Amino acid sequence: MKKIKPRTLSGFMELMPQNQVYFNEMAQRLRESFSLYGFTPLDTPLMEAAEILLAKGGGETEKQVYRLTKGDTDLAVRYELTASLAKYVALHQGSLTFPFRRYEIGKVMRGERAQRGRFREFYQADIDIIGDGKLDIINEAEIPSVIYRSMTALGLRRFVIHVNNRKVLNGFFEILEISNATEAMRAVDKIEKIGEQKLTEHLTTDVGLTHVQSAELIALVTHQGDPFEALDKYRGRNETFDIGMDELSAVARYMSAFGVPDTHFKIDISIARGLDYYTGTVYETFLEDHPEVGSICSGGRYDELAEYYTDRKFPGVGISIGLSRLFYILQEQQMLNPAVLSAPADVLIIPMTEDLSHPISLATQMREAGLRVQLYSEDKKFKSKVAYADKLGIPYVAFLGEDEIKSGQVTVKDMRSGEQTQASAGLIIAGLAEKIKIQRNAPPIAETK
Amino acid sequence: MKKIKPRTLSGFMELMPQNQVYFNEMAQRLRESFSLYGFTPLDTPLMEAAEILLAKGGGETEKQVYRLTKGDTDLAVRYELTASLAKYVALHQGSLTFPFRRYEIGKVMRGERAQRGRFREFYQADIDIIGDGKLDIINEAEIPSVIYRSMTALGLRRFVIHVNNRKVLNGFFEILEISNATEAMRAVDKIEKIGEQKLTEHLTTDVGLTHVQSAELIALVTHQGDPFEALDKYRGRNETFDIGMDELSAVARYMSAFGVPDTHFKIDISIARGLDYYTGTVYETFLEDHPEVGSICSGGRYDELAEYYTDRKFPGVGISIGLSRLFYILQEQQMLNPAVLSAPADVLIIPMTEDLSHPISLATQMREAGLRVQLYSEDKKFKSKVAYADKLGIPYVAFLGEDEIKSGQVTVKDMRSGEQTQASAGLIIAGLAEKIKIQRNAPPIAETK
């Protein structure tokens, strides 16, 4: 038979078993974290009618969409989870209860040019809180707490959640009568790279700001210490600004009650988020030791979730984690926790008798105690059987020979220490279950610093 | 703005939040069950190069495949998980350790005609054990145990795993010199519908069997009691048959050591499985009260997993559960367990003060104890706030007013009983955590019989 050369498409993440365990553990910990905040899981279809997904339309994204025709249906694969949520809310608005909190961890596809750490098929993990007509500011204040708990659950320690408010920014630009705010903010982003002097030059000559505008803008974004000090002097001059200030204060005020330490939270006036979509609080999250990877968890408040599908107003606030990319970065930085049990089993049972009834019964007993067990019954030399456990990183090997069966004992070898223990099945199982339980609590990520 | 009518494509399952909770709980319990047997999770890409997925080629399936071109790549969406596994094993054969046990629960797509309970995008849950060159019979004996534990974990009780062996069947047909075995087995399948007499007629006139062949075949498949009694007289006449008999005996012998009760296991000579793919033990699983839905979990032993991609022999044994279809059937039969906590939260906190620091702190404390908490802060009447919990099925509502804050107490209402309790936050949290823990153990399926 002519063979087809096996291959996986470039940009499609396909993990080896051990890495898959880490990835799944990360996803699972995100699920648990999101659940603690009352987010319900959704699992929307991977494909939608093209008109639905492309309702927003335009630009680079549309070119990246995977699109196909089946029968006479024009289909598109989702390239983000937001459009699917918007459609879901618009379609099921009559039967949903608002505020509606959902999370979705799912694959999306974008036909980007394949690059290291950029994927064409990848996971996003999104949470959103959707209001019916309006949505209280407390929801915006709660988001940093969800981020903090989620990142901590993964095992991350050295990260900071940067928070800003679009109304503050927009109001500030109105007060200073700066019309090309987007361009100005983009320029400000370069301050660390090019320095204050070059930035002033760029702002005044290329962006078209006056020297006064430029100076005030730079003073604001470079202000050290409490950002409210720098902002307070603009109070009372613009309604949008004042509302934004109240919102930002409320968000900051409740941080510690929400369990977010000061060290992990920062008001950052330079955070704008590219999209015009956001209208209130915005969030970005940076790894302190790896600022070069950019924000690992971002989002914000928006006013119009489903405007392409319905007249009803659905404001919301949400964040998104590029989970495949985050995983890729962490494993590349060698931050996967070696204490994690990434083996497919906790125990390998090696039978030493012809009749397998006893080893099988032992496996059954162990499984009933929650242990993950493989029974090795291939026709191999003893050494190869033990090597199987070794290669897979299975931490314990149990031997069951005639002598053990007669005396009602089991011999277990701890593969790391080499230590062998003999005892009754009951005692062995209880001991292993205890040890494995501890190892299972190891978070997927460990920071070496 | 012109609105696009929101809709979900026909045949694409999109669940409402409560049903999604049941579905996810089913998937989670399958994952846990598979893990106990040392299966490692894989998550292969949804799309592959078309030549990979269509290597097997041909027939109805190829017409159902979702196929598209992106750039100059010819892509196909997977329509089953087996081809992806075969490619994975062939591609990574050098770094995998065999026997390789993996499970995958993932979406596949088939452009079938949309029908009630038939989906175009749906989940399959597959497990496979892949050997390198050979694979011990014990692996085949272990599969019914995985099925039993998985189905039981879902909450199913009244089901029977039917087991047969293709070598026994093939040997039997060789002994009787029946050449059109496939057709004969397909005819035998109708026995319950048409009765013995009509079947004899059909077998002799349409299928071309002699009266002796027909009588022996019918006698075998209708034999009551121990099937080995009916089979034993053919021993020693055909090598394939004898090997099959030894395999089938081994599988049956170890069932109770593997924890499968007699009531849930049946040797069934009439099970053949359609595909030519299977070469040894084959499995089908039926709901006793709903035989009309057909097998809910099927599979078997095969010799050639990856023959389209590599010369190396990878025999294996596996089963597949059509998870979306199974969920659909169970919810249609009203078998979803009402005791399951399908609400997005365990507790709704309703603040009764302007300042939210205390209610937020309470929420944080509760979350640290593992409780899923929503804080209701929308500007609504008190009644609407409580109605929110009621609509979502949130079992407990906590009130925090000035009095409670001053006295360090929390009032909690049990939404089902209406009972109100006041106590310190610590006591309330411990009590709720205990109650919720019990409710979380409820299996997703409950049989009413």
Q: Which residues of B touch A13 (CB under 8 A)?
A: 45
Contact residues, B window 235-254, toward A, CB-based 8 Å cutoff: 253-254
Interface test with A, best of B89, B127, B138 (most A CBs within 10 A): B138
What pLDDT is recorded for position B187?
A: 86
Interface test with B, best of A148, A375, A384 (most B CBs within 10 A): A375
What pLDDT is recorded for position B211?
A: 94
Residue A116 in this model has a pLDDT that exceeds 90: no
The β-bridge relationship of strands B265-267 and B159-165 is parallel
Residue B449 in this model has a pLDDT that exceeds 60: no
Stretch A144-167: mean pLDDT: 97
What pLDDT is recorded for position A378?
A: 94
The mean pLDDT value of chain A amounts to 94
Closest A-chain CA to B28: A28
Q: Which residues of A touch B313 (CB under 8 A)?
A: none
Stretch B340-363: mean pLDDT: 96
Stretch A76-97: mean pLDDT: 97
Question: CB contact, 8 Å: A91 with chain B?
Answer: yes
What pLDDT is recorded for position B193?
A: 84
Chain B nearest CA to A66, separation (Å): 7
Q: Which residues of B touch A37 (CB under 8 A)?
A: 367, 372-374
| A400 Cβ neighbours under 8 A, 6+ residues apart | A349, A350, A351, A352, A353, A358, A359, A362, A410, A411
- In terms of pLDDT, which residue wins out, B185 or B214? B214
Q: Which residues of A touch B17 (CB under 8 A)?
A: 40-42, 96, 102
Specify the DSSP class assigned to residue A416. T
Question: CB contact, 8 Å: B173 with chain A?
Answer: no
Stretch B317-341: mean pLDDT: 96
Give the rounded percent of residues in chain B with a pLDDT score beyond 90. Answer: 86
Question: CB contact, 8 Å: A55 with chain B?
Answer: yes
Secondary structure of chain B as H, E, C letters: CCCCCCCCCCCECCCCHHHHHHHHHHHHHHHHHHHHCCCEECCCCCEEEHHHHCCCCCHHHHHHCCEEEECCEEEEECCCCHHHHHHHHHHCCCCCCCCEEEEEEEEEECCCCCECCECCEEEEEEEEEECECECCHHHHHHHHHHHHHHHHHHCCCCEEEEEEEHHHHHHHHHHCCCCCHHHHHHHHCCHHHHHHHHHHHHHHHCCCCCHHHHHHHHHHHHCCCCHHHHHHCCCCCCHHHHHHHHHHHHHHHCCCCCCCCHHHEEECCCCCCCCCCEEEEEEEEEECCCHHHCCCCEEEEECCCCCCCCCCCCCEEEEEEEHHHHHHHHHHCCCECCCCCCCCCCEEEEECCCCCHHHHHHHHHHHHCCCCEEECCCCCCHHHHHHHHHHHCCCEEEEECHHHHHHCEEEEEECCCCCEEEEEHHHHHHHHHHHHHHHHCCCCECCCC
Q: Is residue A138 classed as helix, strand or coil in its secondary structure? A: helix
Residue A90 in this model has a pLDDT that exceeds 70: yes
b/e per residue, B167-187, with b = 16+ CB within 10 A? bbbbbbbbebebeebeebbeb
A205, burial (CB in 10 Å: exposed 0-12, middle 13-18, buried 19+): exposed
Closest B-chain CA to A28: B28
Residue A449 in this model has a pLDDT that exceeds 60: no
Stretch B275-289: mean pLDDT: 91
The mean pLDDT value of chain B amounts to 94
Say whether pTM exceeds 0.95: yes
Distance of CA A270 to the CA centre of its chain: 23
Report the alpha-carbon distance of residue B2 to residue B97 in Å, rounded.
Answer: 57
Q: Is residue A2 classed as helix, strand or coil in its secondary structure? A: coil
Report the alpha-carbon distance of residue A15 to residue A12 in Å, rounded.
Answer: 10
pLDDT tens readout for residues B149-190: 999 999 999 999 999 999 999 999 999 999 888 888 888 878
Residue B437 in this model has a pLDDT that exceeds 60: yes
Stretch B412-420: mean pLDDT: 96
pLDDT tens readout for residues A347-369: 999 999 999 999 999 999 999 99
Residue B421 in this model has a pLDDT that exceeds 60: yes
Residue B448 in this model has a pLDDT that exceeds 90: no
What pLDDT is recorded for position A272?
A: 80
Interface test with A, best of B360, B373, B436 (most A CBs within 10 A): B360
For residue A130, the tally of other CB atoms under 10 A from its CB is 25
Chain B nearest CA to A190, separation (Å): 35
Closest B-chain CA to A132: B378
Q: Is residue A423 classed as helix, strand or coil in its secondary structure? A: strand
Q: Do A21 and B6 touch (CB under 8 A)?
A: no
* Residue type for position A340: V
Confidence bin at A274 (pLDDT 50/70/90):
low
| Cis omega (within 30 of 0) for bond into A99 | yes
Question: CB contact, 8 Å: A387 with chain B?
Answer: no
Confidence bin at B117 (pLDDT 50/70/90):
confident
Give the rounded percent of residues in chain B with a pLDDT score beyond 70. Answer: 99
Q: Which residues of B touch A88 (CB under 8 A)?
A: 14
| B246 Cβ neighbours under 8 A, 6+ residues apart | none
Report the alpha-carbon distance of residue B94 to residue B250 in Å, rounded.
Answer: 32
Interface test with A, best of B24, B356, B365, B394 (most A CBs within 10 A): B356
Cβ contacts below 8 Å, chain A against chain B, sum to 249
Residue B59 in this model has a pLDDT that exceeds 80: no
pLDDT tens readout for residues B88-113: 999 999 999 999 999 999 999 999 88
pLDDT tens readout for residues A325-347: 999 999 999 999 999 999 999 99
Question: CB contact, 8 Å: A72 with chain B?
Answer: no
Stretch B383-393: mean pLDDT: 96
What pLDDT is recorded for position B41?
A: 98
Confidence bin at A61 (pLDDT 50/70/90):
confident
Closest A-chain CA to B312: A3
Residue B320 in this model has a pLDDT that exceeds 70: yes
Of B21, B48, B372, the CB nearest to A9: B48
Chain B nearest CA to A364, separation (Å): 6
Edge-first strand listing for the sheet containing A121-130: A40-41, A100-109, A121-130, A316-322, A298-302, A278-287, A159-165, A265-267
Residue B432 in this model has a pLDDT that exceeds 60: yes
pLDDT tens readout for residues A172-213: 999 999 988 888 888 887 887 888 899 999 999 999 999 999
User: Nearest Cα to A30, choosing from A123, A138, A132, A160?
Assistant: A123
Stretch B375-384: mean pLDDT: 94
Most confident of A106-115, A366-375, B288-297: A366-375
Closest A-chain CA to B71: A111
Confidence bin at B275 (pLDDT 50/70/90):
low
Of B6, B66, B392, the CB nearest to A68: B66
Phi first, then psi: what are they for A392, rounded to 5°? -85, -5
b/e per residue, B139-162, with b = 16+ CB within 10 A? bbbbbbbbbbbbbbbbbbbebbbb
What pLDDT is recorded for position A167?
A: 95
Of B121, B139, B392, the CB nearest to A46: B121
Question: CB contact, 8 Å: B276 with chain A?
Answer: no
What pLDDT is recorded for position B273?
A: 74
| A251 Cβ neighbours under 8 A, 6+ residues apart | A137, A140, A141, A144, A163, A165, A281
pLDDT tens readout for residues A200-251: 999 999 999 999 999 999 999 889 889 999 999 999 999 999 999 999 999 9
Contact residues, A window 11-30, toward B, CB-based 8 Å cutoff: 12-17, 20-21, 23-24
Confidence bin at B58 (pLDDT 50/70/90):
low
Q: Do B6 and A52 touch (CB under 8 A)?
A: yes
Give ipTM to 2 decimals. Answer: 0.96
Chain A nearest CA to B119, separation (Å): 11
b/e per residue, B292-311, with b = 16+ CB within 10 A? ebebbbbbbbbbebbbbbbe
Per the CB < 8 A criterion, the answer to whether B294 and B112 are in contact is: no
What pLDDT is recorded for position B74?
A: 95
